[in-house]
Amino acid sequence: MAFSIDLQGRRALVTGGGQGVGRGVAMMLATAGAYVVVNDYVPERAQSVVDEIVAQGGAASAQPFDVTDWAAVSEGMAQAGAVDILVNNAGNAGPGGWTGDGPFADSDPADWEAFLRVNLYGVMHGTRAVLPGMIERQWGRVITVVSDAGRVGELNMAAYGAAKAGAAGFSRGVAREVGRHGITVNNIALGTMRAAGAPEEPANSPRMKRYIVRRLGEPDDVAGMVLYLASPLSSWVTGQTYPVNGGYSFSL
C-alpha cells in the first residue's frame, strides 16, 4: 500500500537552509508539497536551493537574514508570509565560524557568546516571530535542530552543548504554552553529520564503532524526521526531543 505525506497548502521556513542539513530539509518539505521559504545569511546559498526546488517542480523563495539579529528576523519573517512550519536549523557559531572548541577550563568567556547567539537566541528569535500568526490560525509546527552535545554531553563542547540544551529546554517551555492552539513544538538531536563531499569513514574506525549504524548522518536522515513532525501524523506529539544519531546514544 502506497503512503505519502502531503503538505500542500502549508508554508515552511527553514533557517540555515542554504546548505547541508537545512538544504536537505528544504528539498524534502518541497517534495511533500509545501511552499518552502529558504533562509540563509548568505543570499546566494539560499537562492541556489530555491533554484533546485523550482527546477524539480516545487515552489520556493529565498529570504536571507541573520537569525541572531531580532530586527532582521522580524522583518524577514513578515516578508515570508504566514509560516505554518518553522524549522530552526541554523546553528554552529554563526558567520565567524566555529570558535570556543576545546576544554572548558581553557575557554575564553568571550567565545561563548557566538554559540549562544546562533544556537539559542536564533531559535528564540525565529519562534517568537512566527508564534503570533500560528496562534491566530490555530495551527503550527516548530521544529528545532539541537545536538546530542546538549542532550547527553560531549567532550570539549560544553559551551556549544549548553546553547543546544538551552534551545531544547526553551522548546519544551513553549510547547506547554501553545499546545492548546494546535501548535506542536519538538526538537531533533543530531549526532555527527558527514560534511558535504567528505569521504565515508571506515566502519571499523574508533569513531564509527560508537555508531551502531556504522556511518555518519546524511541530510535525508534528518529530513525524514522533520517531515513526520511537520505533518498531521504528529499532531499528538509535542515537547519531545528525538535523537537522530545512528545509535550514538540512546533515549528512553
Residues annotated catalytic, as ranges: 160
Cell 522580524 belongs to 74
Cell of 118: 546562533
Rounded to 10 deg, the angle between the 122-137 and 70-80 helix axes is 40
* CB < 8 Å & 24+ apart, contacts of 53-59: 53/26, 53/27, 56/27, 56/30, 56/31, 58/27, 58/30, 58/31, 59/30, 59/35
Under 8 Å between Cβ of 60 and 30: yes
What secondary structure letter does DSSP report for 200? P
Q: How far is CA 127 from CA 49, 78, 218, in A?
A: 23, 13, 25
Tell me how crowded residue 106 is: count the other CB atoms within 10 A of its CB: 7
Under 8 Å between Cβ of 101 and 92: no
Cell 524534502 belongs to 28
CA distance linking residue 86 with residue 13, whole number of Å? 5
Under 8 Å between Cβ of 143 and 186: yes
Under 8 Å between Cβ of 183 and 141: yes
